[in-house]
A and B are shown apart, each in its own frame.
Chain A
Amino acid sequence: MEQFFQQLTNGLAVGGIYALIALGYTMVYGVLKLINFAHGDLFTIGAYLGLTLLTSLALTDHVGGFLGVTILAVMVMGLVGIIGILLERIAYRPLRQSPRLSAVVSALGASIFFQNAIMLTYGAKFYVYPQDLLPVMPVNIFGLSIPLMRIIILAASVLMMIALYLFVQKTRIGTAIRAAAIDQGAARLMGIDVNFVIMIVFFIGPALGGAAGLMVGVYYGQINFTMGWIYGLKAFTAAILGGIGNIPGAMLGGLLLGVVEALGAAYISIAWKDAIAFFVLILILIVRPTGLLGERVAEKI
């Protein structure tokens, strides 16, 4: 039984990262109906930018671990957000009125471009974050010792999800985002600057991805230029699982995917872990064709 709970926390830690990346997928999808396949690579860029800033500014030496990493996170999120805005301007905006899959191919092109751009800028080797940026002290919860970093990751994911949810539900810009998500044409007629809304969305989504990249760097230590592909695919799976376009859905999907993977590895087979996760996804979609929290879309008549 202890192993079961241990695996549960293992799964939640992985799932927290998936959820954070999935939030970005879902934001962008909600408004543009675009699967941003370059999102995983924006996550990688976040990890690399974090490392560069960390080593060049030496913030953590001056202001201590927690504050340093927090400041760093804000900077990384800002920078990756700006890259996201540029990406939308250059690669997606010209395709907004085109068939949806055209933008998907453009996104795949952007993904290949980013991945290789990182490889050429930094080189193909693995990079490693400095050790022990944050204390690793284990926290004792119900007799399970859980590393502090995991709790921080999970808490940060949940906090960002809640903040995002409130932002979208309660603020004026959030209302505009929801309006643009439902009908861009009608939103424009209501005086909403749709381009501005999309810009905001393309700032927030990639920024969350960048933050996830930094977290992976700080916690797991090791980063390389291909890591965005696997995380991106898993996060996309998570977003769909929860019902894409739905913010709590992305969170739920991410955590569920992480737990399914951990329990699948523990009780069925490690080597088949990913296959099990995809199998569960397919089963869920067969039963609920629009994901767990996805809205039932009425068939047009």
Chain B
Amino acid sequence: MKNRTWLAYVVFFAVLAAAPLLLGRYWVDVLNNVGLYLILALSLNVILGYAGMFHMGHAAFYAVGAYTTAIINTHYGVPVLWVLPVSGLAAALFALVVARPIIHLRGDYLLIVTIGMVEIVRIALINNVFGLTGGANGIFGISRPEIFGFRLTQPVHFFYLIWSFAALTVLLFSLLENSRFGRALKYLKEDEVAAEGSGIHTARYKLAAFVLGAGWAGMCGTIFAAQMTIISPESFNFLESVRLFMIVILGGAGNIPGVILGSFLVMGLPELFRDFADARLLIFGLALMVMMIVRPQGLLPPRPRKHNLDSIRELS
């Protein structure tokens, strides 16, 4: 990655860090949602953007993480943020189990299976599966997170928690994008057979992408549970998955700056249109179509990789 991109990220996060000074609690809360969905969308981007698998059920992994957090916190009193890695692991494990048999499905068949998965998870949550999820009521009374004795309660506190995590996510996923693993995923997206022929174990890589994306979404669930203090099944329905899907495709699948822009648009626009009252979603739908037509590749599609031939020669 070029230095210029890194500089852009630094400036972007620095400006954001100052934003709460100027904004009221409502806009800070809007930004919290944008940040949360940015992290989720980046984790989906690994599956949908890099590996090119049609995955429209990401909310299921997010739900597993959030419910793991809520159950462990309310039953055993473990501080919420300590559960973060456990939630990530739980979601990753869940992904490993469910994705294994379906990973070989192509395109739209995978799409409907992932939709089915998110619906099954939601129905299971509503039906109070294992007597742990609280049914439609969900789980309430999740404790507020504490960092070094400081209790996070206000939107602005969560702002810094969420956006620090978002910055970390951007950093790690940028490194991932250019790693051997990231390049392998992009290769198998472009041409699965050729990738297989070049010695990439495609099924294993695809599964790894699923597990990684799911695990990250699971951790995001922890933050969501901590912020809301109540979680219920309707926060993890198919529509949330669709929203994440739209963020990635609209922004530019496989490009991190694109996903950042996408999350601002998909999560921010309906809020900007709030004053249109009951027409706000109509305008949002229209805006989605128009943006897609104007920029069919997504707003900021990934640029083709350029390789410096000299450096390759030096290596060999």
Contact = CB atoms under 8 A, between A and B. Distances in A.
- Taking the complex as a whole, does A directly touch B, i.e. does some CB pair lie under 8 Å apart? yes
Interface of A: 29, 35, 90-91, 94-95, 97-106, 108-117, 119-120, 124, 233, 236-237, 240, 244, 271-272, 274-275, 278-279, 281-282, 285-286, 289-291, 297, 299-301
B124 interface: yes
B302 to A, nearest CB: 12
B106 A102 contact: no
Interface string B86-108: 00000000000000011011111
A24 B249 CA distance: 25
A289 B285 contact: no
A110 B193 contact: no
B200 to A, nearest CB: 15
Which 6 A-B residue pairs are closest in the complex by CB-CB distance?
Answer: A109-B288, A112-B285, A113-B285, A98-B296, A278-B116, A116-B282
B127 A281 contact: no
B285 to A, nearest CB: 3
Nearest to A301: B193
A289 B297 CA distance: 29
A99 B289 contact: no
Contacts of B236: none
Dominant secondary structure at the B interface: helix
Nearest to B127: A271
Contacts of A290: 106, 109
Contacts of A272: 123, 127
A236 B285 contact: no
A109 B106 contact: no
Contact of A237 (B112, B120, B285, B287): B112
B66 interface: no
A105 B292 contact: yes
Given A120-B279, A281-B113, A110 B119 contact: no
A112 B281 CA distance: 7
Interface in B254-308: 278-279, 281-282, 284-289, 292-293, 296-298
A145 B108 CA distance: 40
Residue of B108, B111, B282, B287 contacting most chain A CB atoms (<10 Å): B108
Contacts of A114: 285
A29 B238 CA distance: 21
A282 B102 contact: yes
A289 B123 CA distance: 24
B249 A101 contact: yes
Interface in B147-176: none
Contacts of A117: 282
Contact of B296 (A99, A124, A289): A99
B279 A98 contact: no
B230 interface: no
A101 to B, nearest CB: 5
B250 interface: yes
Given A106-B292, A120-B278, A286 B101 contact: yes
